[in-house]
Amino acid sequence: MALSPYFACKMGGRPSEARGRGAERLNRKKVVVRRKFTMIKSQKSVRSTCPYCGVGCQIDLQIKDEKIFRVDAPFGVAPNFGRLCTKGRFGTDYVHHPSRLKNPLIRKDIGTKPRKAIGMDGFREATWDEALDLAAEKIAEIVQKNGGDAMGTFCSAKATNEDNYIFQKFVRGVIGTNNVDHCARLCHAASVAGLQIAIGSSAMSNSIAEMKDLDVFIVVGSNTSETHPVISTFLREAVVKNGAKLIVVDPREIEMTQFATSWLRQKPGTDVVVFQAMAQVIIEEKLYDEAFIRERVEGFDNYAASIQESTPEWAEEISGTPADEIRAAARLYAKAEKAAIYWGMGISQSVHGTDNALSLANLALLSGNLGKEGTGLNPLRGQNNVQGCSDSGGLPAVFPGYQSVTDPEIKAKFELDWGVPLNPEAGLTTMEMVDAAEKGAITGYYVMGENPMMSEPDLRHARHVMEELDFVLVQDIFMNETGEYADIILPASSFAEKDGTFTNSDRRVQLIREAVPAPGNARDDWKIISDLAQRVEKKLGREKSAGFVFDSPSAIWDEMARLTPEFQGITHARIVKEDGVHWPCPTPDHPGTPFLFADTFPSGKGKLTPLNYRPSQELPDDEYPLLLSTGRVLYHWHGGTMTRRSKLDDIYPDPTVEVHPKDARPLNIHAGDWIKVRSRRGEIRVKVLITKRSRPGMVFIPMHFAEAAANELTLDARDPQAKIPDYKVAAVILEKA
Amino acid sequence: MNNTITLIIDGEEIQAPQDATVQQVLESINKAAPIICAHEATTSEGICRQCVVEVEGWRVLAPACVTKVSTGMVIFTNSERVNRSRRTILEMLNASVDLSEAPELQAQMDEFGADRERFPHAKTREQDVKDDNPFFVRDYEKCLLCWRCVQACGDDIQYTYSISVGGRGFDSKISTFFDSPMPETTCVFCGNCVAVCPTNALKSKTEHFMELGLDYDEIRQEKRAEKKKMGKA
């Protein structure tokens, strides 16, 4: 019996013995001639883009026997210049996981209501023809009976721009509704809403390549070193090598605080207060950029009057951040030559997320830190293609390139190109679709590459809605919590198995390439959608097709670019040549735009918006004494569909709750204990991690674990403008399990 | 042009920027010196001395990676002294370090005619493979202390500082604080150290297992089974 390599090592043996060259090794003290190397030779190296976060790291997949055995990164290529994090370097083995979906699946008890969540046993395998025909029939039935607006659809921030373009074309052009949204609603919707008001554009204004040369920068609501690890290395480089000053604003003692000049530790949910006070200091001490404000900003007098009362002392009272530190940070930021702001979910996932984003925009507009290299308002995007999914029209109110669906001229342009009439009403957002489904206005779901049954707040409610739907179509690479409610599941190919483009956080359009074959009968998303769309058109008896015949993703991109002025200069061939292009890029000879707003804002002048502080909706009380914040950890990623199926799960296998020792002691709970965390909405069982990262009175739970989903606890309270739920503040109690 | 200087390399007159290193100039004329410890992503420290060149009038050979050029320098890149030095470095390294998975060094040994058996009785760095985390293995008998991993972990890429050089003399080794297993250090398993390792002393675990003849799914089952066992014990 051959020893397992692990076993051989444990017994004091050497892995080389398992390799059968032990004899040679025993003699090596005398003969130093070394054998020829037994290294695995890479059969091909395929340049692609990392499938995890929004940094968009360029990677070289090394393939042997149709398996990815190593991931390298090219050193000379933006945006990551050879740097990777643990997810990109070691976490792509989910691609080859045995539980990948290989055949279309149809629910055995299709048609029975209420539908129950079922595992793989509840499904039977089917051919593509059978599954697609059935899906087309069901969709056509809903459209004919209740109209297109009775379908709710979710496109995917994991899929390519091309997949998402085809998806929204199918939804708008064939189903006839604008009910298409994706998880950006649950992440940066508030940043988008806030920035749209302030400057009329929502993308990250400056590029990752500029990070090394910052003077001063603020990181707020972003645990950068765990959620965007590669970006964090550039930010740390700015501090360590180039002497930049970092201001961290975060209630938790995240790793970035170790590199910070100033750490403003506000109470969760009081960000607006801190930034209002900083703005007050800037105006009070006349540190603002007068020329910039005169030329490019409006509403200054009104705004200045509105924040007279917002002194640092007032902010200290509410947020717990010392007034002196707020003053010092404001001076540091306003006086800097180049100062940038980076933020993450801590800003946007809040009932006042739009206000949070606006308060940051106000700071940047006051100090003139916008429209120059090394400055800007930079929301760090969470998913590999969340920027691209929004760009490609995966939103209810806009066509690709943020062209409004309600603008008759733009609608006419798309109608002419697609040759079909379009719905003039804006569609529903993710959360509104759930509400509509509850009322019965939506009876069918089409979910591509998303897992709303993990990512939505107040899951118990979301599940209840799912049970009553007439038809649920899911398209994914794995079975997940949403797939368990599906009638039909269509197996898709992963990032390593198809061609296409992802757009990263700094608007850089980059390629992914087919490196390995898809497992079983899984197909590319764009092929599945095109096929389904044509079948639905046939069932609906449409005379004219909206056009779903493409020979490659490159052709799909060309159609999208034709209709979207900002993409017109970009083609797949150009990206191959230049590794990546930053949109806006209106013509083939345009170099692309690494930083935005050099001369003007899309809305003309930037707007300063007066704000009012509103406390969070649910705060700790006697019954639920602790404040819960949710977030992410380095080794996992969002709903865990991918990382829980890779070796990343080996190092972080269990759901945890971070508890401060002061809170743990009276409850007599210890590190490693399994305890229950309960809120007004639900309870989960998690493992205790004792740490001082959060203040006493606050616990932190990562969102990645299906068996203990943090969103069983969170409440469905939404920002009034962005409709984004608040994942960062809820009240809970800890109980011994 | 004030900031350009003239020097002579192998008898040829060369114009070069004032603040360039010898290696940068050599690269610009397609004569790059062979390297071991240098890497485009890390700061050159002149550790391995493989890139040495002979400078007329200098007592010792100069490492091209860190020596700055100056006016009137006369450099020989291919002299007997240079080649003997490079050959000897390779022979000594090969005597104690397992260079079998360093194709670039194998090629250099061929290029400089190194005798792979020159020091048959040398003490070797033979030791067990360190396997203490799910992502990579550390086979330090292949480690020639080029320092790149330490730099990648520290101020050149990751700013995490979880490894450094421990010990003295021949017993110097790349180590964590108190030689703790990687998961107990500040390591974030970015693997940037693995990416810059020239000898495959650091290797992704998937690759390691595949070399041992396990196929992809076996690796996974292996790990799952082991995890279960450890969990129960």
Cβ of A647 within 8 Å of Cβ of B189? The answer is no
Q: Does A90 touch chain B (CB under 8 A)?
A: yes
| pLDDT of the residue at A37 | 47
Residue A590 lies in a domain: no
B6 and B50 Cβ atoms separated by less than 8 Å: no
Q: Verify whether the Cβ–Cβ distance B135 to A96 is below 8 Å.
A: no
Q: Are residues A173 and A193 in the same domain?
A: no
Give B159's contacts in chain A (Cβ within 8 Å). Answer: 233, 236-237, 240, 259
Q: Is B171 helix (H, G, I), strand (E, B) or coil?
A: helix
The dihedral built from the CA positions of residue B179, B185, B186 and B188, taken in this order, carries a sign that is: positive
Cβ contacts of A257 on chain B, cutoff 8 Å? none
Percent of chain B topping pLDDT 90:
79
CA–CA gap between residue A600 and residue A609 (Å, rounded): 18
This prediction's pTM: 0.91
Q: Which of residues 187-226 of A touch B (CB under 8 A)?
A: 225
Q: Could you say which of B40, B117, B216 has the minimum Cβ distance to residue A32?
A: B117
Stretch A450-466: mean pLDDT, rounded? 86
Over the stretch B160-199, which tens digit does the pLDDT of each residue have? 999 999 999 999 999 999 999 999 999 999 999 999 999 9
What is the extent of the structural domain holding A34? 1-38
Determine the pLDDT at residue A230: 95
Chain B residue at shortest CA distance from A36:
B100
Residue A443 DSSP label: -
pLDDT at residue A227 greater than cutoff 90:
yes
Q: Which of residues 125-164 of B touch A (CB under 8 A)?
A: 126, 128-129, 131, 133-136, 155, 157-159
Confirm or reject contact between A82 and chain B (CB < 8 A).
yes
A53 domain-assigned? no
Confidence class of residue A120 from pLDDT cuts 50, 70 and 90?
very high
pLDDT of residue A133: 97
Whether A5 sits inside 8 A of B209 (CB atoms) is yes
DSSP lists the bridge partners of residue A48 as A59
**Residue A151 parent element (H or E):** strand A151-154
A vs B, Cβ pairs < 8 A, gives: 152
| CA–CA separation, B133 and A620 (whole Å) | 39
Between these two residues, B214 and A349, which has the higher pLDDT value?
Answer: A349
pLDDT digits (tens, 9 = 90+) for A300-322: 999 999 999 999 999 999 999 99
Confidence of residue A256 (pLDDT cuts 50, 70, 90): very high
pLDDT band at residue B231 using 50, 70 and 90 as cut-offs: low
Same domain, A453 and A544: yes
Query: What percentage of chain A has pLDDT greater than the value 70?
Result: 95
Give the pLDDT confidence of A172-226 residue by residue, as tens digits: 999 999 999 998 888 888 898 899 899 988 788 998 988 988 999 999 999 999 9
A266: Cβ contacts below 8 Å, ≥ 6 apart: A249, A250, A251, A273, A274, A319, A320, A321
The rounded distance, in Å, linking the Cα atoms of A395 and A383 is: 16
Cross-strand partners of A339: A216
The runs of H, that is alpha helices, within chain B are 22-28, 80-96, 103-111, 148-153, 192-196, 205-211, 216-232
Tell if the CB–CB gap between B205 and A236 is shorter than 8 Å.
Answer: no
Q: What are phi and psi of A110, to 5 degrees?
A: -60, 135
Which residue is it, tokens 């990250």?
A204
Above 50 in pLDDT, residue A405? yes
Cis peptide leading into residue A584 (ω within 30°): yes
| B208 contacts A86? CB cut-off 8 A | no
Facing residue for A39 by CB, picked from B190, B200, B217: B200
Q: What is the ipTM of this complex?
A: 0.91
- For chain A, the first-to-last Cα distance in angstroms comes to 44
CATH topology for B4-78 is Ubiquitin-like (UB roll) (3.10.20)
User: B188 — contact with chain A (CB < 8 Å)?
Assistant: yes
Contacts of A4 in chain B (CB under 8 A): 222
Question: Could you say which residues from 547 to 606 on chain A have a Cβ atom under 8 Å away from some Cβ of chain B?
Answer: none
A160 and A197, same domain (yes or no):
no
Task: Tell me if A60 is assigned to some domain.
Answer: no
Query: CA separation (Å) from A460 to A37, A680, B71?
Result: 56, 11, 76
Q: Based on DSSP, count helices (H) and strands (E) in chain B, helices before strands.
A: 7, 9
Question: Which residues of chain B have a CB within 8 Å of the CB of A653?
Answer: 227
For residue A114, whether the previous peptide bond is cis, meaning omega lies within 30 degrees of 0, is yes
Which residues are CB-neighbours of A518 under 8 A, at least 6 positions away?
Answer: A493, A494, A497, A498, A524
> Is residue A255 a contact partner of residue A691, using CB atoms and an 8 Å limit?
no
Measured CA to CA, the distance from residue A673 to residue A657 in angstroms comes to: 10
Rounded Cα–Cα distance for residues A426 and A149 (Å)? 10
Q: Where are the domains of chain B?
A: 4-78, 136-232
B contact residues 9-68, partner A, Cβ 8 Å cutoff: 40-41
Of the residues A379, A412, A441, the one at which a domain ends: A379
Entry field: residues in chain A? 737
Q: What is the DSSP code (8-state) at residue A459?
A: H
Chain centroid to CA A120: how far? 28
Residue B13 pairs in a beta bridge with B8
| CA dihedral over B181, B186, B190, B191, signed as positive or negative | negative
Which residues pair with residue A732 across a beta bridge? A626
Please tell me if residue B97 touches chain A, with a CB cutoff of 8 Å: no
The answer to whether A34 contacts B100, with C-beta atoms less than 8 Å apart, is yes
The verdict on A453 and A571 lying in the same domain is: yes
User: What pLDDT score was predicted for residue A485?
Assistant: 95
Q: Is residue A506 classed as helix, strand or coil in its secondary structure? A: coil
For the stretch A15-36, pLDDT in tens is: 333 333 333 343 333 333 344 4
CATH classification at residue A407: 3.40.50.740
What pLDDT, in 10s, does the model give residues B120-165? Answer: 889 999 888 898 898 999 999 999 999 999 999 999 999 999 999 9
User: What are the strands of the beta sheet with A58-64, ordered from one edge?
Assistant: A44-49, A58-64, A67-72
Instruction: Quote the pLDDT of residue A460.
Output: 87
Would the pLDDT of B28 be above 60? yes
A254 and A169 in one domain?
A: no
Task: Write down the pLDDT at residue B55.
Answer: 96
Per residue in A652-705, pLDDT tens? 999 999 999 999 999 999 999 999 999 999 999 999 999 999 999 999 999 999
Whether B191 sits inside 8 A of A89 (CB atoms) is: yes
Q: Does A350 lie in the same domain as A249?
A: yes
Do A69 and B40 lie within an 8 Å CB cutoff?
no
Domain annotation covers residue A395: no
Structural domain contains residue A55: no
User: Is residue A64 a part of any domain in this protein?
Assistant: no
Q: Which strand (E) or helix (H) includes residue A275?
A: helix A271-284
Tell me which of B118 and B212 has the higher pLDDT. B118
Question: What gap in Å lies between CA A182 and CA A396, rounded to an integer?
Answer: 9
A25, A87, A89: best to mutate for the B interface, most B CBs within 10 A: A89
Q: Using CA coordinates, name the residue in chain A closest to B212.
A: A19
Task: State whether A34 and B94 contact (CB < 8 Å).
Answer: yes
> Quick one: which of A715, A704, A727, A707 has its CA closest to A629?
A727
A8, pLDDT greater than 50: no
Q: What is the pLDDT of residue A341?
A: 96
Is the predicted pLDDT of residue A12 greater than 50, yes or no?
no
The total number of structural domains that make up chain A = 4
Q: What is the CATH number of the domain that holds A684?
A: 2.40.40.20
Residue A301 lies in a domain: yes
d(CA A103, CA A498): 17
Q: Residue type at A386? A: V
Q: What does DSSP say about strands A339-343 and A376-379: parallel, antiparallel, or unpaired?
A: parallel
Cβ atoms A16, B232 nearer than 8 A? no
In this predicted structure, what is the pLDDT of residue A522?
97
- Residues in A 227-266 with any Cβ partner in B closer than 8 A: 229, 233, 236-237, 240-241, 259
C-alpha A230/C-alpha A240 separation (Å) is 15
Domain B136-232 architecture: 2-Layer Sandwich (3.30)
Question: Is B134 in contact with A259 (Cβ distance < 8 A)?
Answer: no
Question: Is pLDDT of A247 > 90?
Answer: yes
Q: Check if the beta carbon of residue B224 is closer than 8 Å to that of residue B215.
A: no
The one-character DSSP state at A718 is B
- Residue A349's SS3 state is coil
Question: In this structure, are A172 and A207 located in the same domain?
Answer: no
**A200 belongs to a structural domain:** yes
At residue B228, the pLDDT reads 62
Task: Please tell me whether residue A81 adopts helix, strand or coil conformation.
Answer: coil
> Are A194 and A358 in contact, with CB atoms under 8 Å apart?
yes
Phi then psi for A392, rounded to 5 degrees? -85, 15
A84–B191 CB contact, under 8 Å:
yes
